[in-house]
Amino acid sequence: MKDNKYTRLADKIEPGEDFVQQTMEKLKGRKQKKPAWLPALTSLTAVAAFVLVLALVLPYIYKPVNERTESGLPAPDIQANTAVPVEVWEDADYMDVAMEAAESEVYDGFSAALGAKTMMYGMPAPMPSGAFLPEGYNTEEYSHITESGFKNVATSPLSTFAIDVDTAGYSALRRKLLEGDTLPESSIRIEEMINYFSYKELNPEDESDIKLSAALGSCPWNEKAALMFVAAGAKKIRTEDLPASNLVLLVDVSGSMDSPDKLGLVKRSLALMVKNLRACDRVSVVTYSGREKVVLEGAPGDEYTRIMDEINALNASGYTNGEKGIVMAYELAEKYFVKGGNNRVIIMTDGDYNVGVTSEAELVELIEQKKQTGVFLSVLGFGMGNYKDSKLEMLADRGNGTYAYIDSITEARKVMVEEMGASFFTVAKDVKIQVEFNPDYVASYRLIGYENRALNDEDFADDTKDGGEMGSGHTVVALYEVIPAQNAVIAGVTGTQAEDSALRYQTRTSSGIEEIATVSLRYKQPDKDVSELMSLAVTPDMDAQGAGLRNMQLASAIAEFGMTLRNSENRGTASFDMAFKTVQGLDSLTNEETELLYLISKARGK
Amino acid sequence: MDREERLARAQAALVRWQKELVRLAYSYTLNLSDAEDCVQDALMAYMKKAPDFESIESEKAWLIRVTVNRCLSLLRTAFRKRTQELPDEIGATEEDKSVLEALKSLPGKYRVTLHLYYYEGYKLQEIAQILKTRPGTVGTWLDRGRQALKLEMEASI
């Protein structure tokens, strides 16, 4: 763009503040002509469903009474009315089971009505049983996050964590913000938000598997601190050079998946992915609901029509028994195992397991046992309402896997086509990072995010301890908020805090080494069991510049956004406004970054 | 392509190009709310037609073309809002006000040509395609527009 009177004027023309919002509404609302009879029909259906549930529930409530009156009359045959095995009933809450039964019985007509409503209004449908629940009720689960806070370098000089390349946290957050939902604080994982975005010049230019980099800068929300940017980038394999794949698609077809934004989206996402498979790839499809079923076994990847015919014919109904499906999927993956190839089970689910192995501990054990076979796991989460984020993330963590949340067909394209290499081809497994801080320079530090990825310091060199996986072209970024030691200068910030001499028996002499920290990384090649070590010294002259500065500004703005959303106690002066301005100030914004701006403005307006 | 995907694509295009398109439409309408209306209409058309593009640049070119069309038909209707934009609303300096005055004296086509050339950096050939005219005509419009605005730029047309 040239600089002249005209372009300077044109630069000042900005769309109104609510322009994007209004246009979004207008685009959405194009086919929103609701026929007058439709609400009436829906409420009628709800009433009918309620009556049916009552009819089903009442006999169970009175069941003990029936049993007491042993008048010789046969007790009503409850089992015959339901598909649920009787042994499950004894442990379970009556109400839950009754709902389950109602769900599988009333299902077809009822969900068809809901489905129709969804299509018409262009809104995500509630789970079918959602109609029984009060409005706004949802049963989503997120694991609790406790922020780690500042650590004193004198007492804990090491910071150790497993990397996290999952992006589910960000896409779930985006969906909630766009729909104006409330955000549970524990659903906000800052490291996943940061790692959703692409950063420049962090991947290796040579043949090495991983490149480590670091940079220093000021901390926008705390004037007494500096920021240390640590990144690892995996090598990028060209699509044509990717090894043959053996993919087992494990599709949840239980009743709760019956909605256009769940099974419907699964089908459309798979259509995108299958189109890009090659003749050398193998595809199997396993479904699970009440029982597991092999739908397709070892089909060549170029038989698009055959694969998609099977996938498109899938229907959702019944309850969920995830365990058997997982076992079956791993069996198939082993059967068609490609040596040196990409062997992977891809689970597509809303994560709502309610029969079978449902305790997290047992599921973890199952998955950990299965990963010994050399089969990797990817978890793709779908849908809202009863979405079990905590279970899904844990499955992927333990199963040498990645975890993404698919909220739209656009996100499916990103995860399953554009970043297929990163999502489904592992370059390095069990990646862990350890940072040792030099007390001459650093008084205390705080790792932003990664709360549920923290490792014990001694686990770093222990190859039996699990780390995170990196796919082709992945980058992982971690930010440390660093308080300089007294009189030490990091990125222009001078430490003022006197050394904390709480320790009575330790005396410290300066090492004399002019380094702020050492970043070490361990990883294993996908088919190896022994890790390799690499490290990088962070020296005081490593102030962020050029692309590094842009990377740092972007990451710190996202951290600010995340901390403000979480109302973190460590947020300092962080605000939506500041995050917005920082992102806005970046040169040549990508689509993702533009969208981020929109999300920040949306969060600010709430 | 189903409705949901078309909606997602249109929304992405909105977020991606909103500023460029509104500025372009403004160069034609010289009124912010008219400009926004035109861009909205163009995006509605984008969602309805869901054209396939080879690159993101051709998506932008398509949207520019449609936005220009909307501006043209808006200027033709007698019912269009005749409210004058106050220069202060866009934080205009004295220099900007004189540029705005000069722009008002030009036909819309000239303004949009100036915009596509100086602001979007298109070549004469490309502008001719967008405006469905000959490159020589674009050169003339650009020259007159430049004179009116007294832009002493390189004359390499």
| Contact call for B32 and A24, based on CB within 8 A | no
How does DSSP assign A350-417, residue by residue? -----SSS-SHHHHHHHHHHHHTTT-EEEEEEE-SSS-BHHHHHHHHHHTTEEEEEE-SHHHHHIIII
- Which DSSP helix (H) or strand (E) runs through A427? strand A426-437
Mean pLDDT within A225-248: 90
SS3 content of chain B, % helix, strand, coil (to 5): 75, 0, 25
pLDDT at A1: 57
| Contact call for A30 and B39, based on CB within 8 A | no
Mean pLDDT within A392-415: 80
pLDDT over threshold 90, residue A518? yes
pLDDT at B86: 60
- Residue ranges and CATH numbers for the domains of chain B are 1-85 (1.10.1740), 93-157 (1.10.10.10)
pLDDT at B157: 40
Query: Hey, which residues 91-150 in chain B have their CB within 8 Å of chain A?
Result: 91-92, 95-96, 99-100, 114-115, 118-121, 149-150
Taking only the tens place, the pLDDT of each residue in A318-372 is: 777 777 788 889 999 999 998 888 899 999 988 766 545 556 677 777 778 887 8
Query: At A43, is the pLDDT very low, low, confident or very high (cuts 50, 70, 90)?
Result: low
Q: How far is it, in rounded angstroms, from Cα A277 to Cα A415?
A: 15
Q: How far is it, in rounded angstroms, from Cα A498 to Cα A514?
A: 20
CB contact A136 to B (< 8 Å): no
CB contact B63 to A (< 8 Å): no
ipTM of the complex in this document: 0.85
Strands A282-288 and A245-252, by their bridges, are parallel
Q: Which residues of B touch A6 (CB under 8 A)?
A: 99, 114-115, 118-119, 149, 151
Taking only the tens place, the pLDDT of each residue in A148-192 is: 789 999 889 999 999 987 888 888 888 888 777 778 887 888 999
Q: How far is it, in rounded angstroms, from Cα A13 to Cα A77?
A: 73
pLDDT over threshold 50, residue A238? yes
Q: How far is it, in rounded angstroms, from Cα B143 to Cα B129?
A: 18
| Contact call for B23 and A5, based on CB within 8 A | no
Which residue, A390, A404, A380, A361, is CA-closest to A139? A390
Taking only the tens place, the pLDDT of each residue in A478-515 is: 999 999 998 889 988 988 866 655 667 777 778 888 99
Query: At A458, is the pLDDT very low, low, confident or very high (cuts 50, 70, 90)?
Result: very high
% of chain A with per-residue pLDDT over 70? 76
What value, to the nearest 5°, has the Cα angle with vertex A477 and ends A471 and A483?
160
pLDDT over threshold 50, residue A136? no
CB contact A122 to B (< 8 Å): yes
| Contact call for B92 and A4, based on CB within 8 A | no
pLDDT at A213: 95
Q: What is the DSSP letter of A229?
A: E
pLDDT over threshold 70, residue A425? yes
pLDDT over threshold 50, residue A97? no
Q: How far is it, in rounded angstroms, from Cα A395 to Cα A418?
A: 24
Residues of chain B with pLDDT under 70: 1, 77-91, 152-157
